[in-house]
Amino acid sequence: MPPQLFHISRRHFLQRSTVALAATGLPAWFLEQHEARAATKPLSPNDRPSIALIGCGGRGRGIGKEAAAFGNMVAICDVDSKNLDQAALMFPGATKFKDFRKLIARDDIHAIINGTPDHWHTLVNIHALKSGKDVYSEKPLTRTIGEGRRLVEVVKRTKRLLQTGSQQRSDARFRLACELVRNGRLGRLRHVITSLPAGRHGGPFAMSPVPPELDWDFWQGPVAKVDYVKERCHGNFRYWYDYSGGTMTDWGAHHNDIALWGIGLERSGPVTIEGRPLIDEVPGGFTAASQYRVEYTYANGVTHTCQSTTSDNPGGGKVNDPKAGEMAHGVRFEGPEGWIFVTRGKIEASKPELLEIPLPSNAQRLYVSDKHIGNFFDCIRSRRQPICEAEIGHRSVSVCHLGVLAIRLGRKLKWDPAKEHFVGDKAADAFILPPMRKPWTLDSV
Ligand X SMILES: NC(=O)c1ccc[n+]([C@@H]2O[C@H](COP(=O)([O-])OP(=O)(O)OC[C@H]3O[C@@H](n4cnc5c(N)ncnc54)[C@H](O)[C@@H]3O)[C@@H](O)[C@H]2O)c1
What are the phi and psi torsion angles at 368 (to 5°)? -105, 125
Contact flag: residue 58 with ligand X (CB under 6 A): yes
Binder of ligand X out of 20, 27, 29, 60 (CB under 6 A): 60
Closest separation in Å from C-beta 247 to ligand X? 10
Closest separation in Å from C-beta 298 to ligand X? 25
**What single DSSP character describes residue 335?**
E
- Tell me whether residue 250 or residue 348 sits nearer to ligand X (CB atom): 250
CA 337 to chain centre: 29
Interacting span for ligand X (CB under 6 A) from 29-37, 115-123, 141-149, 426-434? 115-123
Half-sphere exposure of 43 (CA within 13 A, CB side): 19
Task: Tell me the three state secondary structure of residue 158.
Answer: helix
Contact flag: residue 117 with ligand X (CB under 6 A): yes
Q: Are the C-beta atoms of residues 294 and 306 closer than 8 Å to each other?
A: yes
What are the phi and psi torsion angles at 80 (to 5°)? -120, 115
Give the Cα separation of 104 and 124 in Å (integer).
9
* Shortest-Cβ-distance residue relative to ligand X: 57
Binder of ligand X out of 20, 54, 161, 373 (CB under 6 A): 54
Beta bridge partners of 137: 114, 164
**What single DSSP character describes residue 439?**
T
**What single DSSP character describes residue 21?**
B
Q: Footprint of ligand X on residues 62-101 (CB under 6 A)?
A: 77-80, 83, 100
Contact flag: residue 57 with ligand X (CB under 6 A): yes
Give the Cα separation of 100 and 79 in Å (integer).
9
Closest separation in Å from C-beta 253 to ligand X? 7
Which amino acid belongs to residue 260?
A: L
- Tell me whether residue 138 or residue 356 sits nearer to ligand X (CB atom): 138
- Tell me whether residue 183 or residue 398 sits nearer to ligand X (CB atom): 398
Contact flag: residue 56 with ligand X (CB under 6 A): yes
Contact flag: residue 115 with ligand X (CB under 6 A): yes
Contact flag: residue 116 with ligand X (CB under 6 A): yes
Q: Which of 273, 247, 255 is nearest to 192 (CA)?
A: 255
Give the Cα separation of 428 and 434 in Å (integer).
11
Which amino acid belongs to residue 41?
A: K
Q: CA angle, 386 as apex, 383 and 391 as ends, to 5°?
A: 110
Closest separation in Å from C-beta 93 to ligand X? 19
Interacting span for ligand X (CB under 6 A) from 113-121, 154-162, 190-198, 417-425? 113-121
Give the Cα separation of 349 and 36 in Å (integer).
25
- Tell me whether residue 100 or residue 341 sits nearer to ligand X (CB atom): 100
Contact flag: residue 231 with ligand X (CB under 6 A): no
Interacting span for ligand X (CB under 6 A) from 53-61, 183-191, 348-356, 419-427? 53-61
Tell me the pairing of strands 134-137 and 191-196: unpaired
Q: Please report which helix (H) or strand (E) contains residue 354, including its range.
A: helix 353-356
Q: Footprint of ligand X on residues 245-264 (CB under 6 A)?
A: 250
Binder of ligand X out of 110, 149, 191, 234 (CB under 6 A): 234
Give the Cα separation of 406 and 178 in Å (integer).
27
- Tell me whether residue 136 or residue 339 sits nearer to ligand X (CB atom): 136
Closest separation in Å from C-beta 98 to ligand X? 7
- Tell me whether residue 100 or residue 376 sits nearer to ligand X (CB atom): 100
Q: Footprint of ligand X on residues 121-160 (CB under 6 A)?
A: 138-139
Closest separation in Å from C-beta 386 to ligand X? 14
Q: Are the C-beta atoms of residues 375 and 40 closer than 8 Å to each other?
A: yes
Contact flag: residue 165 with ligand X (CB under 6 A): yes
State the residues that interact with ligand X by CB under 6 A: 54-60, 77-80, 83, 100, 115-118, 120, 138-139, 165, 167, 218-219, 221, 234-235, 250
